[in-house]
C-alpha cells in the first residue's frame, strides 16, 4: 500500500514534467566526451567539471548525462568548495536521463567517509547562473549518511539494535538526529526525537559495533537513551547533523528544477539563496530500500529569495528538521546615528544587495516603509554582520535599539505550493516566513512539530518576515504537532517567537481537513484568522487563540466530528 502510493504520486506528476521539458539546444555537449562515464567506479567529478567549464568558455547551453551512476570522489570546483559547480554563466541546462517510468535515471553519488559529523561539500553549486535548468537527476551518498535497525535487546543500562541488511554500521558511529518508528507501519512514533546534534558529544551517544555472522549489531551503553526505547522499536539515525548543502544555488535568477530526487542527504538537501523567480516540479526527498530517514536537516531551504516561487508536485518524507523553510533575515537596529542613519545588525554574515526596494520598520503591530539609499558594511560580530543604512528621508520617531527591519528585496513576492505531500518528518513540514503565500492541495501526515508553522522566529536565527497574506486551500493535516514549536502544539501553528506583537496579517484556511490531533490551529500574534468550510475530524479543539494578541477570528461553515 505504502509503495503503491508513492508510485502513483510519481506517475501522476510525470505527465506534467514531460509536457514542460525544454527541447535540447542544437548546441549541446555530453559529459561522456569529458571522460565522465557512468557505472565505471572512477571519479566523474572532474569530467563533469570539465564539461561545465567548456560549456561556459564556448557559450554552450546544454550538458547531457546518460543513465547510471556518476561517482563524485574528488572536489573539482575548489573555488566553490563543491564537487562540481560554476559561477557567472547564464542559460545553463543540465539534463539527465529518465527511466521508463519517467523518474530520473542519472545518479550523482558523493563519497561519504563515514566519519562523525563531517561537513561534506555539495554535489553541485552554482552562483550567479541565471536561467539555470536542472532536470532528471538523483543525488545520493555512498555509503549513505543514515542507518536504521530494530531494537532486539535492552535493560536499564544499554540497548542493542540489529542493523538492517545493507545499511551502514561503523564502530564509534555517533547517534545523531535519531528517531523511533513503528515496525509494522514504518510511520514515525508520536514521541520526541531521541537525539539532536550537540547532545551526542555531551551525553556520549556513540555506538559499539558487534558482528555475529552476517549480522551487524550496534550497542549503546547509555541509561538515558535505553530508557526511551522498547524491544521491537525501529530506530533511525545519521552520521551527523552539520549544515552543508547537497545542492547549493546562489543568486541564480529564473531558476528551473524538474524531476529531481534526493534519496539520501548529508546536511541540507537543496539550498536556494537570493534567487529571483523559482519554478520547480516533481522534487522528491525519500529514502530508498530499508532506510527510513532521508536526511538529518531540512529538505529544501528557500532563503532570501525574491519574485515568484512556484513549486508543484513535491514529495518530502523522512527529514529530521523542516521539509521546506521559506524565510529571509531581519535587520535589527542597534543605534540611531543621524536623522536618516542607523547602525543595524543581522544574524550570519551572508548579505546581498537590497537598495532596489524599500525596507519595512516595525513599530509593534505595524510597519512603516522607507527607501534606503546607502549601505556601509562594518566588521562582523555577535554571530552576524553590522552596517549603516542611510534612508532617503528621516527615520520614523519610534525607531530605537531592537526595532526590526524587513528587507523586501529579500522577501518572496509570492510563494506557491501545490499538489505536494509531506510525511514522517521529525520537525515541521513547512515553515513560512514570507509576506504572501498560496498553498493548495498539500497534505501533511505524521509531522512531529506543527505540520505548518506561519510566523517568524526572531530567537536564535533572526529569520524574517511576518506573513501578511496567506491562503491555504484544500489541504489536509493529520496526526501532527505532538511536540511544540514556537510555543504552538496544534496541527498548524500561527505565531512568532521573540515578540508578542500582533504583526501577522491575514491567514485563511478554506476547504481543508484537520484530523487526529488534540488541537487543529493554535494561533497568536495575528490580526485576522479566517477558518471557513473546513472539516475537523477527531480533533478535540478546532482552534485556540491567545486573546491578548489575536485580532478577529472568523469561524464559519466548518464541520466538527
Q: What pLDDT is attached to residue 511?
A: 98
pLDDT surpassing 60 at residue 481: yes
Q: What is residue 58's three-state secondary structure?
A: coil
CA distance 455 to 457: 7
Q: What percent of the chain has pLDDT over 70?
A: 95
**What is the pairing mode between strands 159-163 and 215-220?**
antiparallel
Return d(Cα 209, Cα 358) in angstroms, integer: 57
Whole-number pLDDT of residue 8? 44
Q: End-to-end distance of the chain based on CA atoms, in angstroms?
A: 27
Q: Which spans in 396-502 are helix H?
A: none
Residue 17 clears pLDDT 50, i.e. is over it: no
| Contact call for residues 278 and 310 (beta carbons, < 8 A) | yes
Cα gap 445→452, rounded to integer Å: 11
CA angle, residues 64, 66, 72, in degrees to nearest 5: 90
Q: Is pLDDT of 361 > 60?
A: yes
What does the block give as the cell for 443? 497534505
DSSP state of 190: S
pLDDT of 26: 47
pLDDT (tens digit per residue) in 207-231? 999 999 999 999 999 999 999 999 9
Mean of per-residue pLDDT scores for the chain: 94
Give the model's pLDDT for residue 30.
98
Place of cell 529544501: 300
pLDDT at 15 over 60: no
**What does the longest C-alpha to C-alpha distance in the chain come to?**
76
Place of cell 563531517: 118
Indicate whether 16 pLDDT > 90: no
Q: Which residues have C-beta within 8 Å of that of residue 469, sequence separation ≥ 6?
A: 435, 436, 437, 505, 506
Residue 460 pLDDT level (bands cut at 50, 70, 90): confident
Top mean pLDDT of 347-356, 453-462, 464-473 is at: 464-473
Nearest one of 441, 526, 525, 453 to 484, comparing CA atoms: 453
User: In sequence order, what are the residues at sequence separation of 6 or more whose Cβ sits closer than 8 angstroms to the Cβ of residue 319?
Assistant: 265, 269, 285, 293, 294, 295, 296, 297, 298, 299, 425, 426, 427
Closest Cα partner for 137 from 105, 109, 111?
105
Residue 480 neighbours by CB distance under 10 Å: 29
Residue 96 has pLDDT above 50, yes or no: yes
Instruction: Please tell me the predicted confidence (pLDDT) of residue 18.
Output: 34
pLDDT value, residue 243: 85
For residues 438-454, average pLDDT: 98
Q: What percent of the chain lies above the pLDDT cut of 90? A: 94
The residue-averaged pLDDT of 327-348 equals: 97
> Greater confidence, 243 or 500?
500
Question: Does 241 have pLDDT greater than 70?
Answer: yes
pLDDT, position 450: 98
State mean pLDDT over 320-330: 97
Q: What dihedral do alpha carbons 116, 118, 124, 125 form, nearest 10°?
A: 150
Pairing of strands 504-510, 526-532: parallel
What was the pLDDT predicted at 2? Answer: 41
Residue 430: φ, ψ to 5°: -135, 135
CA dihedral of residues 174, 177, 183, 184 (deg, nearest 10): -160
In whole angstroms, what is the distance from residue 92 CA to residue 54 CA? 12
Tens digits of residue pLDDT in 21-67: 333 344 999 999 999 999 999 999 999 999 999 999 999 999 999 99
Amino acid at each position: 500500500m505504502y509503495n503503491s502510493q508513492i508510485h502513483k504520486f510519481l506517475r501522476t506528476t510525470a505527465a506534467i514534467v514531460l509536457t514542460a521539458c525544454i527541447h535540447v539546444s542544437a548546441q549541446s555537449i555530453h559529459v561522456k566526451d569529458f571522460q565522465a562515464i557512468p557505472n565505471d567506479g572512477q571519479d566523474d567529478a572532474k569530467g563533469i567539471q570539465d564539461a561545465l567549464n567548456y560549456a561556459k568558455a564556448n557559450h554552450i547551453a546544454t550538458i547531457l548525462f546518460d543513465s547510471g551512476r556518476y561517482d563524485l570522489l574528488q572536489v573539482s570546483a575548489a573555488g566553490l568548495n563543491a564537487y562540481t559547480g560554476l559561477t557567472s554563466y547564464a542559460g545553463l541546462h543540465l539534463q539527465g536521463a529518465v527511466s521508463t517510468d519517467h523518474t530520473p535515471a542519472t545518479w550523482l553519488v558523493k563519497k561519504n567517509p563515514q566519519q562523525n559529523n563531517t561537513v561534506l561539500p555539495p554535489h553541485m553549486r552554482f552562483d550567479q547562473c541565471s536561467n539555470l535548468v536542472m532536470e532528471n537527476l538523483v543525488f545520493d551518498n555512498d555509503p549513505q549518511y543514515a542507518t536504521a535497525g530494530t531494537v532486539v535487546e535492552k535493560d536499564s543500562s544499554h540497548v542493542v539494535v540489529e542493523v538492517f541488511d545493507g545499511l551502514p554500521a561503523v564502530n564509534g558511529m555517533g547517534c545523531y538526529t535519531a528517531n523511533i518508528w513503528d515496525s509494522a507501519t514504518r510511520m514515525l512514533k508520536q514521541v520526541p526525537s531521541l537525539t539532536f546534534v550537540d547532545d551526542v558529544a555531551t551525553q556520549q551517544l556513540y555506538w559499539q559495533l558487534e558482528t555475529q555472522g552476517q549480522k551487524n549489531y550496534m550497542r549503546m551503553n547509555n541509561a538515558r537513551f535505553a530508557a526511551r526505547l522498547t524491544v521491537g522499536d525501529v530506530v533511525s539515525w545519521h552520521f551527523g547533523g552539520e549544515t552543508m548543502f547537497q545542492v547549493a544555488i546562489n543568486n541564480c535568477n529564473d531558476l528551473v528544477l524538474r524531476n529531481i530526487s534526493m534519496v539520501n542527504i548529508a546536511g541540507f538537501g537543496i539550498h536556494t539563496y537570493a534567487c529571483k523567480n523559482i519554478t520547480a516540479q516533481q522534487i522528491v526527498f525519500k529514502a530508498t530500500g530499508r532506510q527510513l530517514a532521508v536526511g538529518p536537516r531540512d529538505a529544501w531551504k528557500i532563503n532570501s529569495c525574491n519574485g515568484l516561487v512556484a513549486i508543484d508536485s513535491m514529495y518530502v518524507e523522512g527529514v529530521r528538521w523542516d521539509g521546506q523553510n521559506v524565510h529571509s533575515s531581519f535587520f535589527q537596529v542597534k543605534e540611531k546615528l543621524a536623522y536618516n542613519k542607523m547602525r543595524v545588525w543581522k544574524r550570519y554574515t551572508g548579505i546581498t544587495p537590497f537598495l532596489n526596494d524599500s525596507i519595512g520598520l516595525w513599530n509593534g503591530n505595524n510597519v512603516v516603509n522607507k527607501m534606503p539609499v546607502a549601505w556601509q558594511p562594518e566588521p562582523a560580530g555577535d554571530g552576524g554582520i553590522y552596517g549603516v543604512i542611510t534612508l532617503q528621508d528621516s527615520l520614523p520617531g519610534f525607531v530605537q535599539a531592537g526595532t526590526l527591519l524587513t528587507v523586501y528585496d529579500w522577501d518572496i513576492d509570492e510563494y506557491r505550493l501545490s499538489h505536494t505531500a509531506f510525511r514522517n518528518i521529525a520537525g515541521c513540514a513547512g515553515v513560512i516566513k514570507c509576506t504572501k503565500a498560496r498553498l493548495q492541495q498539500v497534505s501533511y501526515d505524521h509531522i512531529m512539530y506543527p505540520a505548518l508553522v506561519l510566523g517568524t522566529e526572531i530567537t536564535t536565527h533572526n529569520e524574517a518576515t511576518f506573513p501578511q497574506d496567506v491562503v491555504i486551500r484544500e489541504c489536509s493535516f493529520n496526526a501532527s504537532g505532538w511536540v511544540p514549536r514556537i510555543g504552538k502544539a496544534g496541527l498548524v501553528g500561527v505565531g512568532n517567537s521573540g515578540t508578542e506583537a500582533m504583526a501577522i496579517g491575514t491567514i485563511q484556511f478554506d476547504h481543508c481537513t484537520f484530523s487526529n490531533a488534540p488541537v487543529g490551529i493554535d494561533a497568536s500574534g495575528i490580526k485576522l484568522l479566517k477558518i471557513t468550510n473546513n472539516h475537523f475530524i477527531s480533533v478535540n479543539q478546532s482552534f485556540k487563540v491567545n486573546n491578548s494578541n489575536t485580532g478577529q477570528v472568523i469561524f464559519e461553515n466548518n464541520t466538527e466530528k
